[in-house]
Structure 1
């Protein structure tokens, strides 16, 4: 997949072949720029890749699995026919996610409004009424929220967006939305629902983006995942999440661009406040006519430049804060888990996160450097949606163990003495599998193959996942919106002229929506 001959000086040199880099390169190439992408790994995609990590014929998504954001992105909207021509294919499902609880009850969100509302009513009539109210209001609220999340974070864009919102929603409605965007998941859930089961089902989504129940600014993510899941379902990649990566690489190469793997960048060349190119590990230099674009962590940007030329920006890069890590467990399965409710076998995701208090405790333990006593388990069942990922009748499970400390200082349960991931991996993974076993007895007896990926291994594979942080930096309010990755630089610019920053560390942040890459490319070409 990584190939191409660099015969002329490129207009843009891009560091890293994550999906934001590739989306940026595609748009620039479509506007006539010559682009060259350099990736340190042996294959492109970063956290979005697929492989046979357990047994032949079982295809596992390395980290990212859910491609709903990409399917609904501005980039996909612009290039859907071309991407499809290059092999992009989606596997949609009307049953995106569910939660199962220790008492045997469960709640699933499906894109059948009446069915989902009835499930909520099974826990509370008042919550069903609240759910109906949220459902009816979602189209209008979504328009405003998606406008914010899809807008560049600069003063002109914010001023225009604020004025449009004020005209559409009025002063009170605009202030209500601003208040909601500041709320923690618990604050919003407690003010909206009465059932602890309903609250936990939605709050689990906050843990995907570093928002434990009591972290300000996190309410919007459980809200959007619930409402969008009901409205649109979920989209996986047919055959694996790497379908989007393969299609974008093919687009770049078809337009004369280069995607070069096994090419580690050791420095960004700049002088007199202007970037001119990059230095590779073999000592070769690649110059750029117009732009050097770095899809790297803020820490790496500071290191590769040797200093960004502005003390405040340099300090922000060096002190950028990362979220707790994640352990991945890939399982080749004889069959799906024998859940307490057979209906759970229909869902793409099943969350094992029984309460807001447990999620808050898990997060606090991981932040303190402890292996959590009961981590949150995200059990992905991609073969329910896309049977092509496993041999006939077999399945794969995609387990995210959230949260996990980057550096282990101890074990909250007092059972694991190891403080290095190489030694702690097996017992901590067993803890996670034992949790799954409680909800679905017999699961471990159905395992045909297992592959554990620790936070340390995630970072070794992709340096942007610092400490195993899959979203390349906390999304807490001090590091989000105009502050991602630093105040004044949320549009991808840096203090060094012609050097630009993209990836999950840059607004709008983590996820598969390719937002930062798309917005940067549009900025560079003026449309």
Structure 2
């Protein structure tokens, strides 16, 4: 009999599996797809030798997540950290550039530089404490009162209609809005500001790494460690009922609340099932991947040195585009997030070629092909872009859900990022990873701390299961342990 069954092999499911196997328990991981990875998979695109990331491409949490620090991910795979974490081009060739060095970033922001420093310096100084705070259950916030106060002040500054008060020009607010738009939703808002500020402080501390070989390298490192400690990965196996994994003493589910309802059926108590049914999913992404004959011809050449680029123009334009998505519309000029990983990793494309990874935000369940809108936004800031496009491939929001049923309606974040759903994810509870069913735990992005490739949903769920089901401590996760 297996001690532990894990359903789903995304970063959270694999993190939970690694921890349980390291604790000396027998572990089986069941994955519906042909490969492990979930949101961190890499595949060939359109032509041989062109390797693209199916979902996430750049990983701000790879060097900051408490789980990945314990797992020593940086010692297991090669992570390239660009000098410019992210860029935000504006019309006319100007651009905001978020260097890993905060002071260099400040220098490039002109008159708004000191205001940007005043906002970000208290967060950068407390980066590790703030990251720990935001990646842990809210009840533990009292342990870091200084970090909580500094972060709360900054979130109020950038999460309310007064968000422009400290700035006089366009570059600094555009830089902050580009990261605040990562969680799909209206801006300004406290959830978007919180998510954006976390990403921004990481940009100026550990940086935003790009894994050599693609995001699959992260999943592969965890699978390798799992197998080295006796765990088993079973692919092409969709678990359709909890009855299939009843033999395990503990079951960890890297699935959405909707899938949990399908798996458990009438076993769940009515109040808990009702809360899962009321769980709201967010709006979605339309992904467009390109093969290029050369680098993107940015009007501002420095933009090409950034690992990530946010497109959409000035702060007001981005906020308007996100408001359109929230109203169920497809923006003519959408917010676009892109990365050209072949700039930093030559293994991603043959000589003379590049790959470009992009997505824009769209309403949930959208079947609209946004290739032209995305292309036009890139051309706006990189004249001549159309001339270097060899081929492209679109993945609509509906396609994203078909690829991964956790992405309900194309929501890659595992649920709407709202104040309520950050506190009650998926239900209000001190230990939201524990379900009412004995030995059954939820560990997906629909649990705290929410979206991102950080493994912390699996870390918290596994730690809880170890204590309550097996009376075991959290094991050492280091390379040499």
Whether the TM-score (by the shorter chain) exceeds 0.5 is yes
Matched, 1:477 2:462: no
1:335-383 alpha-carbon deviations (Å, 9 max, x no partner) = 1111111111111111112133322322232233222221111121112
**Separation in 2 of the partners of 1:518 and 1:204?**
29
Matched, 1:18 2:10: yes
Q: Counterpart of 2:343?
A: 384
Q: Is the 8 A contact 2:31 2:235 kept in 1?
A: yes
**Separation in 1 of the partners of 2:183 and 2:211?**
21
**Separation in 1 of the partners of 2:125 and 2:93?**
36
**Separation in 1 of the partners of 2:84 and 2:41?**
23
Q: CA deviation at 1:475?
A: 1.5
Instruction: Compute the RMSD of aligned alpha carbons.
Output: 2.1
1:68-89 alpha-carbon deviations (Å, 9 max, x no partner) = 30232222222227x855xx22
SS in 2 for 1:190: coil
1:88-99 to 2 correspondence within 5 Å? 88-99=77-88
Q: Is the 8 A contact 2:124 2:204 kept in 1?
A: no
Q: CA deviation at 1:140?
A: 4.1
Q: Counterpart of 2:409?
A: 467
Change (3 A) 1:99 1:186: farther
SS in 2 for 1:201: helix
1:21-77 alpha-carbon deviations (Å, 9 max, x no partner) = 001100110010111111111111112101112211111111101223023222222
Q: Counterpart of 1:42?
A: 34
Aligned counterpart in structure 2 of residue 222 of structure 1, from 196, 202, 205: 196
Q: Counterpart of 1:111?
A: 100
Q: CA deviation at 1:194?
A: 2.6
Q: CA deviation at 1:182?
A: 5.6
SS in 2 for 1:195: coil
Change (3 A) 1:175 1:245: closer
**Separation in 1 of the partners of 2:426 and 2:157?**
21
Aligned counterpart in structure 2 of residue 487 of structure 1, from 421, 428, 431: 428
**Separation in 1 of the partners of 2:230 and 2:162?**
49
Matched, 1:457 2:403: no
Q: Counterpart of 2:385?
A: 443
Size of the alignment, in residue pairs?
468
Q: Is the 8 A contact 1:332 1:447 kept in 2?
A: yes
Change (3 A) 1:188 1:14: farther
Q: Is the 8 A contact 1:185 1:212 kept in 2?
A: no
Q: CA deviation at 1:259?
A: 0.9
SS in 1 for 2:72: helix
Matched, 1:405 2:363: yes
Q: CA deviation at 1:174?
A: 5.8
Q: Counterpart of 1:29?
A: 21
Aligned counterpart in structure 2 of residue 205 of structure 1, from 179, 184, 187: 179
Aligned counterpart in structure 1 of residue 206 of structure 2, from 223, 232, 235: 232
SS in 2 for 1:379: strand
Change (3 A) 1:366 1:319: same
**Separation in 1 of the partners of 2:224 and 2:235?**
14
Which stretch of structure 1 is more off in the superposition, 130-139 or 256-265?
Answer: 130-139
1:59-74 to 2 correspondence within 5 Å? 59-74=51-66
Q: CA deviation at 1:469?
A: 0.9
1:224-263 to 2 correspondence within 5 Å? 224-263=198-237
Q: Is the 8 A contact 1:180 1:188 kept in 2?
A: no
Q: Counterpart of 2:373?
A: 431
Q: Counterpart of 1:361?
A: 320
Q: Counterpart of 2:454?
A: 513
SS in 2 for 1:248: helix
**Separation in 2 of the partners of 1:139 and 1:257?**
38
Aligned counterpart in structure 2 of residue 347 of structure 1, from 297, 306, 314: 306
Q: Counterpart of 1:128?
A: 113
Q: Is the 8 A contact 1:152 1:491 kept in 2?
A: no
TM-score, structure 1 as length reference: 0.84
Q: CA deviation at 1:115?
A: 2.3
Q: Counterpart of 1:149?
A: 134
SS in 1 for 2:258: helix
**Separation in 2 of the partners of 1:510 and 1:490?**
18
Aligned counterpart in structure 2 of residue 138 of structure 1, from 110, 115, 123: 123
Q: Is the 8 A contact 2:284 2:409 kept in 1?
A: yes
**Separation in 1 of the partners of 2:171 and 2:121?**
22
1:206-225 alpha-carbon deviations (Å, 9 max, x no partner) = 22112432223322222222
Q: CA deviation at 1:253?
A: 1.5
Change (3 A) 1:235 1:436: same
**Separation in 2 of the partners of 1:99 and 1:293?**
40
Q: Counterpart of 1:282?
A: none
**Separation in 2 of the partners of 1:175 and 1:95?**
28
Structure 2 residues not aligned, in runs of 5+: 468-473, 475-481
Q: CA deviation at 1:264?
A: 0.9
**Separation in 2 of the partners of 1:115 and 1:176?**
22
Change (3 A) 1:249 1:216: same
**Separation in 2 of the partners of 1:520 and 1:330?**
34
1:179-190 to 2 correspondence within 5 Å? 180-181=154-155, 185=159, 187=161, 189-190=163-164
Matched, 1:289 2:230: no
Change (3 A) 1:135 1:152: closer
**Separation in 2 of the partners of 1:379 and 1:393?**
20
Change (3 A) 1:268 1:30: same
Q: Is the 8 A contact 1:347 1:384 kept in 2?
A: no
**Separation in 2 of the partners of 1:186 and 1:386?**
39
Q: Counterpart of 2:477?
A: none
Which of these two proteins has the greater Rg computed from alpha carbons? Answer: 1
